[in-house]
Amino acid sequence: MTVRFRLTEEQRALRAGVRQLLERRFGADALRAAVARPGHLDRELWRELGAAGLFALRLPEAEGGVGLGLPETVLVFEETGRALLPGPVLASHLAAGTVPGAATGECVVARADGSLVEWLDAADTVCGDASGALPLRSVDPLTPLHRVLGAGADAPDPVAVLLTAAEQLGTATRACELAVQHARAREQFGQPIGAFQAVKHLCADLLVRAETARAAVYAAAVTADPADIAAARLLADEAAVRGARDCLQVHGGMGFTWEAEVHLHLKRAWVRAQRGGGSTQSEEALAADLVA
Amino acid sequence: MDLSYTPEEEEFRVRLREWLAKVLPTLPAGPSPDDWPGRRAYDLGWQRMLYDAGYADVHWDASPTTRLIFLEETEKAGAPYVGANFVGLLHAGPTLAAEGTPEQRARWLPPILRGDEVWCQGFSEPDAGSDLAALRTRARRDGDDYVVSGSKIWTSHAEVADWCELLVRTDPQAPRHRGITWLAMPMDADGITVRPLRTLAGSAEFAEVFLDEVRVPVAHRVGAENDGWRVTMVTLSFERGTAFVGEVVACRRVLGELARTARENGRWDDPVLRRRLGRLSAEFRALWRLTQWNVSEAEAGGGVPGVGGSVFKLSYSHARQELYDTAAEVLGPDCLDLDRPWVLDRLSSLSYTIAAGTSQIQRNIVAERILGLPKGR
């Protein structure tokens, strides 16, 4: 009996396990603490994540890795994205097996992606050309950024683009959950604001975009086809960025505060949307594919 | 997560492809859009060919994945659409199969499969659209008959149908959902007037049906009296995620044609248009994957088919309208010429966010039944 295009029991268990780990080690208090110390990377947490296999997911077991495939890795990155886990998770994952210590979390790895480098100062080493990188005042308090002026636009690594899409999917899912929670709890005019169609429809669209993106991201993880990956990133970027904005809108005035979690999701989604050449690159790739 | 098919399914695909390659060149030319008897004969003829080849019941008995393959391959090969057989094969038929008596099933199902009889749907009314339970067409008992009076609207193929699956109110005093009954009405009965409705695309795709003291035998009632709402709802979840398979395949083909046309007429040099086409390609790729996802969920017996369908329909209807708006951009001034390709499709696409539940109703369904938001205004 074929499993078909849905999660296996093992995949569900993996997702639940990662979610539990992140809730335990990076819960609401840790998130607040991280926002209060921009640029600081919790090295102890990093080693714990390494020990849990987060960076060595796709490394063969013979090389000390977990030996999983892209679909499982996508599920894990969806969770790190959902939890707003700070740090160069993607760069460390991509470096596992080539940069000593990256897999275990002993060595923190940053990565030049186009003209941006995340977490450069906190990293022990950097992959790609980050020479002359200048710090900028990052819009996202949980992602310190450097700008590399004059960096060439290399063809993006499809795996990096896919795993970024997975993180965006996590954000989209979380934004939908937060919006729905608030719409059910917050009362105005004597009823939950989620009873009003204007609010209800914002929430419905959040889910529709997230679930459409989910199908694209999971399928791209199965096929690893570059066009599927480009499609996944476009859908996931939109689901995350528009999702976080709609979530903010549902939260009303509270959504505009520093205190509410919502802005962190939007800002992180903006950062990720710049990776891999941005949406332009993916749209052009898919257009070219249409006439190939 | 797996996107592969079983050897049996691959074999089904290959056999179907071979058969289509053999029979499609033998088909007569399709009828003109307003030739209703021609349409009926053509669509029934195609169903008869499917029947003779053993594919007639693919919508009923096959697994969702087999149905997906059937719809994908027939669309790719350019086979005729289900057309006038739509209500019989995809709505009234499955309802009869699930809720009919053995006699009713024996009377009505074989002619649908063989391509002998056409069904139409008498559900919506002028004052009962999204709010279907507000329907007012009245049926009173008179001996062995129901006597039906009222009017129905948006009835496709009414002019050429043999039967109508009809929802009527049999108990005006009961709560709205509890006073409705499902009847099979013969379209040649006295008292039925069919008036074609012209759509904004200029064609008469559906009709209004006026019923004046039409006698329908009680033996034509499916399910119990006043249980028609439940009988109907059984079928609404029947499509199980495969409702738009052919359309998504067709949209992806149109997208390729748009790109090639843009290359030929020079509009391809416009990066804004190119990127718009690229984004549409992403959306239709995603919609194809979402279809596969929904089919897998249906097959595993999980999920809530009707509700997962709402997520799909919201995404799809928006994307398809966007597709034809982009076609207009590719065409430039030619988009005003009804004889150009895609211009009529653009007009037809305006119905996608309305037909079979408006996007606003679909959002209510998603918000209330999936997200658990409270009912309200």
In which band, very low, low, confident or very high, does the pLDDT at A272 lie, cut at 50, 70 and 90? Answer: very high
Distance CA(A201)–CA(B103), nearest Å, equals 45
B76-109: per-residue pLDDT in tens?
A: 999 999 999 999 998 899 899 999 999 999 999 9
- Alpha-carbon dihedral sign for residues B319, B323, B328, B329: positive
Cα-based distances in Å from B236 to A41, B354, B356: 53, 17, 10
Looking at residue A141, the DSSP 8-state letter turns out to be: T
Residues 6+ apart with CB under 8 A from B33: B203
Position B298 pLDDT exceeds 90: no
In which band, very low, low, confident or very high, does the pLDDT at B301 lie, cut at 50, 70 and 90? Answer: confident
**Does any CB of chain B come closer than 8 Å to the CB of residue A283?**
yes
- In this structure, are strands B163-169 and B119-122 parallel, antiparallel, or unpaired? parallel
In which band, very low, low, confident or very high, does the pLDDT at B234 lie, cut at 50, 70 and 90? Answer: confident
| Ranges A147-151, B240-244, B270-274: which has the least confidence | B240-244
- In this structure, are strands A134-136 and B206-217 parallel, antiparallel, or unpaired? unpaired
Residues 6+ apart with CB under 8 A from B188: B162
Distance CA(B131)–CA(B145), nearest Å, equals 28
- Cβ–Cβ gap B275/A203 under 8 Å: no
- Cβ–Cβ gap A222/B315 under 8 Å: no
Q: What's the whole-number mean pLDDT along residues B249-264?
A: 97
Residues 6+ apart with CB under 8 A from B322: B280, B283
Interface of A with B in 61-90 (CB under 8 A): 71
All domains of chain A in start order, with CATH: 9-147 (1.10.540.10), 158-290 (1.20.140.10)
Q: In this predicted structure, what is the pLDDT of residue B322?
A: 98
Pick the more confident residue, B326 or A3. Answer: B326
**Chain A residues within an 8 Å CB radius of B292:** 5, 215, 219
Q: In this predicted structure, what is the pLDDT of residue A167?
A: 98
In which band, very low, low, confident or very high, does the pLDDT at B33 lie, cut at 50, 70 and 90? Answer: confident
- Alpha-carbon dihedral sign for residues B237, A9, A87, A222: negative
A211-241: per-residue pLDDT in tens?
A: 999 999 999 999 999 999 999 999 999 999 9
**Does any CB of chain B come closer than 8 Å to the CB of residue A4?**
yes
Phi, psi of A174 (to 5 degrees): -65, -40
Position B330 pLDDT exceeds 80: yes
**Chain B residues within an 8 Å CB radius of A183:** 373
What is the percent of chain A where pLDDT is above 70? 98
Residue B95 tokens, joined: 């309802």
Q: What's the whole-number mean pLDDT along residues B38-57?
A: 96
Residues 6+ apart with CB under 8 A from B156: B86, B87, B120, B121, B205, B206, B207
Q: In this predicted structure, what is the pLDDT of residue B306?
A: 55
Helix axes A226-250 and A158-185, enclosed angle (nearest 10): 20
In which band, very low, low, confident or very high, does the pLDDT at A251 lie, cut at 50, 70 and 90? Answer: very high
Cα nearest neighbour of B256 on chain A: A290
**Does any CB of chain A come closer than 8 Å to the CB of residue B321?**
no
Position A3 pLDDT exceeds 60: no
Q: Which of B1, B271, B367 sits opposite A222 (nearest CB)?
A: B1
Q: In this predicted structure, what is the pLDDT of residue B305?
A: 54
Position A150 pLDDT exceeds 80: no
A180-205: per-residue pLDDT in tens?
A: 999 999 999 999 999 999 999 999 99
**Does any CB of chain B come closer than 8 Å to the CB of residue A2?**
yes
A30-87: per-residue pLDDT in tens?
A: 999 999 999 999 999 999 999 999 999 999 999 889 999 999 999 999 999 999 999 9
What is the percent of chain B where pLDDT is above 70? 96
**Does any CB of chain A come closer than 8 Å to the CB of residue B66?**
no
Q: What's the whole-number mean pLDDT along residues B39-58?
A: 95
Nearest to A112 by CA among A94, A91, A93, A96: A91
**Does any CB of chain A come closer than 8 Å to the CB of residue B106?**
no
All domains of chain B in start order, with CATH: 7-114 (1.10.540), 119-227 (2.40.110.10), 239-370 (1.20.140.10)
What is the percent of chain B where pLDDT is above 90? 82
Residue B266 tokens, joined: 């020079």
- Cβ–Cβ gap A235/B283 under 8 Å: yes
In which band, very low, low, confident or very high, does the pLDDT at B303 lie, cut at 50, 70 and 90? Answer: very low
**Chain A residues within an 8 Å CB radius of B374:** 184, 191-192, 194-195
Q: How far is CA A1 from the centre of its chain?
A: 33
Position B204 pLDDT exceeds 90: no
Cα-based distances in Å from B373 to A125, A180, A201, B251, B304: 48, 7, 10, 33, 17
Position B238 pLDDT exceeds 60: no
Distance CA(A204)–CA(A207), nearest Å, equals 5
Position A13 pLDDT exceeds 90: yes
Average pLDDT, chain A: 95
Cα nearest neighbour of A217 on chain B: B286
Q: In this predicted structure, what is the pLDDT of residue B242?
A: 78
Q: What's the whole-number mean pLDDT along residues B167-192?
A: 97
In which band, very low, low, confident or very high, does the pLDDT at A1 lie, cut at 50, 70 and 90? Answer: very low
